[in-house]
A and B are shown apart, each in its own frame.
Chain A
């Protein structure tokens, strides 16, 4: 590989990053205008914040799956840790900080910290494993987090914050308030999540990931992903870098969870189950592993798609499944790809070049 080729590669990379920012900003401006001029239906307006949250989830999981090369099947667990800690924090801060945007920002930061701690604790055992075994352990942790949150009670009274497990034994003093109610989750949440806040979170996540990927650590992630043994032999601390990616990803998932939760009045742990983890994985794989723009487009498309398919009523989830299978076959089967390539008259790139881009 010559130096020129390397420089070119870099330029393509830079162009792609700016393109991603550009598209996200344009999409935000369009959606915001449409939303404020009421062109967007109320259902669609209600979906703007969840779409942002899923976009951040997609970016976050892409860091683990696409950049760091590990399969995580329990990412909804971090989202749920973030959702619960963030909402609980927001409720506790309600009287101290009356200004909603600041409270939202603080809640998201607290959610990110809690999810990062969970990510670190889970990362210690998980990152010792490899491949499918690692995947099943993340699945297991996702289920454990769900079970624990389903049986977790937290309340606050004049004596401070009280916790209990399994059943409500917090024994709150009069005037106290039970915040997290086991399987009932948290209800009566103030909906302070806004579309601009979601947009800012998406932009921050993109900045973090892009800056990381093009840093020393990011190159270490990719070196480990491409060849673990070679990376180890040149002295890269594998566990350290894997942990870094995992914790950062968990933190972003936590912030996204808090944003997501504060768009609804009630949140329960069962919302963040295995199916949610899989949904996020589908965003990443459909968008292209390691491709942030693809991931966020997939997140938006697949969140809107079931809504748009609503006219097919009962058939919509069936159609969704078929679209998913056909897309996977279409993008991964060489015969089908060649067939589509022949149909495309504008195609002039050499396949090798395309891979490099």
Chain B
């Protein structure tokens, strides 16, 4: 039963990673860039949600919605100002710019909201479902996180595969030039991708801080790196891959904390990543592109 408890908290943590990883993987798929500022968008989302709920007594779900709107606009603005001028630039230049944006967001947060950790209110209280005569307890936030992740996954998959905009996104990730020739507005599609990714980051921020209620300007950094790892783990650019990678990473992390050593859990997570990449160099569900000569 303890095993099952760990497993469920692993799935819950993994769900948060999966939601963040979706943002990484979608942006990578379409813009071929590693958006290192994504983790800090989570933090901004969490702060917006915190102030809306704790200071201005918004309904928690309204607070999350507000955070989503703010992050969506943040994502679009960052893309327009910092990444769009570098469409033709070498990928390393874009990477460094993304890191610059990450520093910028972290330090803006530091100025706006100070470095004092804030205690995040749980968005749906601290209750728990008791199963099997109380032997298995699943907190409400854990259940909500898992459900939210499943819903997001289903909606996003339907969006990508069924709608015109989703088709445009797939076309752009396949071949931007050809997509443009077919009349797809590539720039708008890339903006849309950033918008969706950043909106999801806001949800992830609210869920993350409800489960681990300490909010600081650096809160987003480590989950950001972990989620990035999860995206690579599942095969970067692949949406089901991000989902699978996130869940597996969460479960591995919780099990490593429980059964190996809490101090070395990060090392175990990264070691598993390395082993997976050695066996499957493009991640679990990634496509290995054949080089043509």
Give chain A's interface residues, CB within 8 Å of chain B: 65, 71, 125, 128-130, 132-133, 135-137, 139-141, 143-144, 147-148, 150-151, 166, 229, 274, 278, 281-282, 285-286, 289, 314-315, 317-318, 320-322, 324-325, 328-329, 331-336
B100 and A325 contact, CB distance less than 8 A: yes
Closest 10 CB pairs of A and B: A147-B267, A140-B270, A321-B103, A332-B89, A324-B100, A321-B104, A325-B100, A318-B107, A332-B93, A317-B107
Q: CA–CA, A177 to B154, complex, Å?
A: 59
> Chain B contact residues (Cβ within 8 angstroms of A): what range?
35 or more
B108 and A229 contact, CB distance less than 8 A: no
16 A–B contact pairs at CB < 8 A?
Answer: A71-B95, A128-B278, A129-B278, A133-B282, A143-B270, A150-B263, A285-B95, A285-B96, A317-B110, A318-B108, A320-B107, A325-B82, A325-B101, A328-B86, A329-B97, A333-B86
B103 and A320 contact, CB distance less than 8 A: yes
A136 and B101 contact, CB distance less than 8 A: no
Contacts of A151 in B (CB 8 A): 261, 263-264
Contacts of A285 in B (CB 8 A): 92-93, 95-96
B291 contacts A by Cβ under 8 Å: yes
Task: Tell me which of A137, A278, A321 contacts B273 (CB under 8 A).
Answer: A137
A139 and B88 contact, CB distance less than 8 A: no
Q: CA–CA, A168 to B34, complex, Å?
A: 39
Distance from A116 Cβ to chain B, minimum over Cβ atoms (Å)? 20
Q: CA–CA, A166 to B97, complex, Å?
A: 38
Q: CA–CA, A227 to B282, complex, Å?
A: 21
Contacts of B54 in A (CB 8 A): none
* Given A143-B266, A150-B263, A229-B291, A324:B103 Cβ within 8 A: yes
B153 contacts A by Cβ under 8 Å: no
Q: Which of A71, A141, A281, A333 has the most CB of B within 10 A?
A: A333
* Given A136-B232, A144-B267, A329-B85, A317:B103 Cβ within 8 A: yes
Q: CA–CA, A133 to B286, complex, Å?
A: 11
Distance from B285 Cβ to chain A, minimum over Cβ atoms (Å)? 14
Contacts of B271 in A (CB 8 A): 140, 144
Distance from B115 Cβ to chain A, minimum over Cβ atoms (Å)? 10
Q: CA–CA, A326 to B107, complex, Å?
A: 16
Task: Tell me which of A286, A329, A336 contacts B82 (CB under 8 A).
Answer: A329
B111 contacts A by Cβ under 8 Å: yes
Q: CA–CA, A135 to B264, complex, Å?
A: 22
Distance from A334 Cβ to chain B, minimum over Cβ atoms (Å)? 7
Contacts of A147 in B (CB 8 A): 263-264, 266-267, 270
A136 and B229 contact, CB distance less than 8 A: yes
Q: CA–CA, A141 to B277, complex, Å?
A: 13
Distance from A267 Cβ to chain B, minimum over Cβ atoms (Å)? 19
Distance from B25 Cβ to chain A, minimum over Cβ atoms (Å)? 12
Distance from A131 Cβ to chain B, minimum over Cβ atoms (Å)? 9
Q: CA–CA, A324 to B95, complex, Å?
A: 12
B52 contacts A by Cβ under 8 Å: no
Contacts of B99 in A (CB 8 A): 278, 282, 324
A129 and B277 contact, CB distance less than 8 A: yes
Contacts of A281 in B (CB 8 A): 92, 95-96
Q: CA–CA, A100 to B25, complex, Å?
A: 52
Q: Which residue of A lies closest to B264 (CB)?
A: A147
Q: Which of B28, B86, B89, B107 has the most CB of A within 10 A?
A: B107
* Given A281-B96, A329-B85, A140:B261 Cβ within 8 A: no
Distance from A62 Cβ to chain B, minimum over Cβ atoms (Å)? 12
A128 and B281 contact, CB distance less than 8 A: yes
Q: Which residue of A lies closest to B263 (CB)?
A: A151
Contacts of A336 in B (CB 8 A): 85
A125 and B278 contact, CB distance less than 8 A: yes
B225 contacts A by Cβ under 8 Å: yes
B267 and A143 contact, CB distance less than 8 A: yes
Q: Which of B90, B101, B277, B282 has the most CB of A within 10 A?
A: B277
A136 and B89 contact, CB distance less than 8 A: no
Contacts of A229 in B (CB 8 A): 291, 293
A328 and B96 contact, CB distance less than 8 A: yes
Q: CA–CA, A2 to B108, complex, Å?
A: 54
Contacts of B101 in A (CB 8 A): 321, 325
B111 and A318 contact, CB distance less than 8 A: yes
Interface residues of B in 196-239 (CB under 8 A from A): 225, 228-229, 232, 236
Q: Which residue of B lies closest to A167 (CB)?
A: B263
B267 and A289 contact, CB distance less than 8 A: no
